[in-house]
Amino acid sequence: SMFRPLLTKVIWNWFLKKFLDQDTEMIESEQYTYLANPQRRYVEINPAIIALQRVIVKQFQKYVQQSNQPGNNGHPDSSAIATDQTELVKDNSLI
């Protein structure tokens, strides 16, 4: 339809770009704050970020555990990392 390009431009300019610009500004601000004092410890309060951090830690622990098993030579196969995504999501969900 002839309205699609116009609608796409309006959606991008009035909605998506504003969120993207806001996220970019926030990330840049966090990076500058970190670079100013990299030794400072921060407390995360965003529940989604906390849940993601837990998933990452569990995946890393699983990776290390598999890497230390005899016969792996430090090179676990891909099944060693997050073999059961359902379990990870369930364990880390906020619901």
| pLDDT at res. 73 | 60
* Tally of CB atoms within 10 A around 55: 15
Question: What is the model's pLDDT at position 74?
Answer: 55
User: Taking the mean position of all CA atoms in its chain, how far away is CA 94?
Assistant: 16
Q: Are 69 and 82 in contact (CB under 8 A)?
A: no
Is 0.85 surpassed by the pTM of this model? no
Query: Bigger pLDDT: 82 or 39?
Result: 39
For residue range 31-81, list pLDDT tens digits in order: 999 999 999 988 889 999 999 999 999 999 999 999 988 776 655 554 544
* Average of per-residue pLDDT across 9-18: 88
Every domain of the chain and the residues it spans: 1-42, 43-95
